[in-house]
Structure 1
């Protein structure tokens, strides 16, 4: 969620002063990077956040996050944009040994606690990229969480845009079924609340950050292809990972004319490989005006001169309003500054074991791709190809065709089974992950690829089968979600979830 604000409107002078403070923060960051002021790499430290949907007995969004938050009363649980959203923030933990299994158990325990409280207010918990029972009536400002931060974001994005939020997403033709299309205007950023994601963090030392960010960009398309879980929005079957265009459009401050000029969006893949984390923060400051120009009392240069660690509040707040799919993070823990890669590519769900498997696959790949001898992968993969892989995977999921050095054009399942799974296993071994833990989670990825069944594919096949039995789309979606809750509740990998009879192969 980020920290809340005291107010939602700002003066021109405040915006000017905020820009100056952001530049002072950027200069302080440069000094800290030069002087080696950051935590080292003695142990791999990871973090995980997952956004949850609350649903009522009809599996519609349940506007009860405040009651759930009050009942659980845990610092690990926070509100999110929609009144039907909450977010779980797992505490940082090391990666080696059995910690992957501990993460799975902790997630299951926290979900059970949230579910128990949700039941007291007539709700259930669902981990899914986009809740397909959301309707236009839910995506209004009145259904946003009561937070000044969200009110301010809504006002600032709409003011900068100068017109309603336009969703225009053309779906993908699938097995001869024509592509469906969504075109709709909204008077708030509430459609962004339909996106619920899994966010993976990895703390890295400054001199290794660029390699880790570049590697994360390289594998983003593969992550989406094998982890897609968001095929339906407002009754339409659109992309395998509809979160990608939805998030872009729901937070877009650009008018049509600015888009035509090539002005960059705030939901951004990026445009080049980097050599330092500083380049990402510098791009943020150069290209994007402040959305929430809230300045603090601390001067970062004064803090550095006094031998103290600056919070860089303005720079961090600014960074929090630029939604890169792999975001740079500056943070301070126990008085020591550190840097993290925040991977924001994946949707929530389907099950906890699926999410932990996605995380372990990602961490294993990053270790190998950043440790192997030269030349690095990103020297062989054009940045434009990595971005196109990301877009193709979002559109078509497991049915996309991706480009990979030494492989050429290849299907995601073939690429993972032949090249990337052995690399991920090697990387997890280098991290010191226990063999049994590595096998447990990478086998989930392997079998998902062999079955060519992601969460998105399972949702599409199930709805398709129920429609061919005579159900209309809304009833077929509810029937699918009832089955989805069973698989999720059993913590079974999605490739093992049963399908209705007479399902066409996808």
Structure 2
């Protein structure tokens, strides 16, 4: 939800007007998809990375605004939590060696930002959930002072009518977290890598379906969030935490089958319009800010409209693969936003994760037999949840193979498909080899960010450290290895 919001309370009339405007935007988009030219040139990609900020004691540093001012770079912006920042890299083409250049650019940005943050005795860390986070950080004062965050917090809590209840049982560890919070600040504990891919509107349905098929594999290979509030929980605890932190449903509404706002979805689609239509049909307004502009009139008189109510509404529904409508250089486009992966562990790991995803998408979309025609949507959703729980050990269902672990599936089937897809995108051979080798070695060693964190903490506890001490020392080692940009499969476990 990146739009400017200058209000924190809304009337019944506001909600009524907003619903009407969302439908008007939807009707306009329907007409545009049938008759208006959209961007469909070379494949453009984008990246967003969310960070945690830590102080000298490696616990959350609540000085995000000060750090942002010190960094003074337009690529960085605030996030919900005062210990968070977000980095948005400019869009770039996928072909050639663009993503090798992106790795260098990102490393330079992080080095510069890290040096300036260091002046405030703060470090940036890319990790799905900060393991040194404590309950006393999860309070109202930790929300970034901004009307859009206050509005989101107030409206989510008003819709729920109860405290935010987080209840996550550990995956085989015997540990459990069950706690209530008076704000939506638990959502700020989740930091992610968000991948964007601009596609032609006619192709969007196939790309979204393929991305849904791959979500479980992505999590199995990329899990990096095993700890929350001193508890060892899921391989990617960020998934249930985000789902529960933004859930406006009471238990009774869940029992009735009301859809959650953090959502995998429930069916394969044919068009991007299917997703925006579901948003309007199933989800009431959270932040009903309306403009005076009529989108249909704007389309006929001034060209492509911004559809502000539709895009704001879409920003308050957190699909793991989300549709985006946007305008660039007066030309509308649609893109797929993949929100599955956590941040980190390193820049090279994140670039490898991204290119593996983009390559597989291309191959699956252009396959003679479409994968989503041979697997149920329920199986894809189950793969996603199973991979979040078990990571590399998750039994995933894959057509023609049956039940298989992510590492075996990648080594036996998916890695050659990713190579082929990147080749079709026009990605250079050197880039393909560099980053897909990282994926291959991660599968061979079976070491992800999540497994490294768990094994390191276990080793430190065997030495006599209690859980908070072990987590702090693990984070210290994590920062050193992450800054060195050595892929996570090479990180050592303490003896």
Tell me the TM-score normalized by structure 1.
0.97
Partner of 1:204: 199
Find the aligned partners of 2:345 and 2:250 in 1 and give their Cα distance: 35
How far has the Cα of 1:129 moved from its partner?
0.2
Question: Alignment partner for residue 183 of structure 1, among 171, 178, 181?
Answer: 178
How far has the Cα of 1:36 moved from its partner?
3.7
Find the aligned partners of 1:80 and 1:307 in 2 and give their Cα distance: 33
Q: Is it true that 1:293 corresponds to 2:288 in the alignment? A: yes
Question: Alignment partner for residue 395 of structure 1, among 386, 389, 396?
Answer: 389
- Give matches, 1:11-50, under 5 Å: 11-40=11-40, 42-50=41-49
How far has the Cα of 1:421 moved from its partner?
0.5
Partner of 2:2: 2
How far has the Cα of 1:73 moved from its partner?
2.0
How far has the Cα of 1:399 moved from its partner?
0.6
Find the aligned partners of 1:333 and 1:305 in 2 and give their Cα distance: 18
Q: Is it true that 1:132 corresponds to 2:131 in the alignment? A: yes
Find the aligned partners of 2:446 and 2:92 in 1 and give their Cα distance: 32
Find the aligned partners of 1:461 and 1:144 in 2 and give their Cα distance: 32
How far has the Cα of 1:311 moved from its partner?
0.5
RMSD over aligned Cα atoms: 0.7
Q: Is it true that 1:163 corresponds to 2:158 in the alignment? A: no
Find the aligned partners of 1:57 and 1:297 in 2 and give their Cα distance: 49
Find the aligned partners of 1:334 and 1:297 in 2 and give their Cα distance: 23
Q: Is it true that 1:252 corresponds to 2:252 in the alignment? A: no
Contact 1:24 1:300 in 2 (8 A): yes
Partner of 1:504: none
Contact 2:5 2:148 in 1 (8 A): yes
Partner of 2:210: 215
Contact 2:71 2:117 in 1 (8 A): no
Partner of 1:357: 352
Find the aligned partners of 2:126 and 2:302 in 1 and give their Cα distance: 44
Contact 2:138 2:185 in 1 (8 A): yes
Find the aligned partners of 1:307 and 1:244 in 2 and give their Cα distance: 42
Partner of 1:342: 337
Q: Is it true that 1:99 corresponds to 2:98 in the alignment? A: yes
Find the aligned partners of 2:3 and 2:323 in 1 and give their Cα distance: 18
Find the aligned partners of 2:302 and 2:84 in 1 and give their Cα distance: 41
- Give matches, 1:106-505, under 5 Å: 106-173=105-172, 178-373=173-368, 375-501=369-495
Find the aligned partners of 2:316 and 2:204 in 1 and give their Cα distance: 21
Tell me the TM-score normalized by structure 2.
0.99
How far has the Cα of 1:287 moved from its partner?
0.2
How far has the Cα of 1:64 moved from its partner?
1.2
How far has the Cα of 1:155 moved from its partner?
0.4
Structure 2 unaligned residues grouped into runs of 5+: none
Residues 442-451 or 72-81, more deviating: 72-81
Contact 1:216 1:326 in 2 (8 A): yes
Partner of 1:73: 72
How far has the Cα of 1:37 moved from its partner?
2.4
Find the aligned partners of 1:337 and 1:305 in 2 and give their Cα distance: 14
Contact 2:220 2:387 in 1 (8 A): yes
Note the alpha carbon deviations across 1:145-202, whole angstroms, 9 max, x for none.
01100100100010000010000001111xxxx4210000000000000000000000
3-state SS, counterpart of residue 306 of structure 1: helix
Note the alpha carbon deviations across 1:216-238, whole angstroms, 9 max, x for none.
00000000000000000000000
Contact 2:218 2:357 in 1 (8 A): yes
How far has the Cα of 1:307 moved from its partner?
4.8
Contact 1:4 1:147 in 2 (8 A): no
Find the aligned partners of 1:422 and 1:92 in 2 and give their Cα distance: 27
Find the aligned partners of 1:252 and 1:427 in 2 and give their Cα distance: 36
How far has the Cα of 1:372 moved from its partner?
1.7
Contact 1:56 1:122 in 2 (8 A): yes
Contact 2:164 2:181 in 1 (8 A): yes
Contact 2:239 2:388 in 1 (8 A): yes
3-state SS, counterpart of residue 359 of structure 2: helix
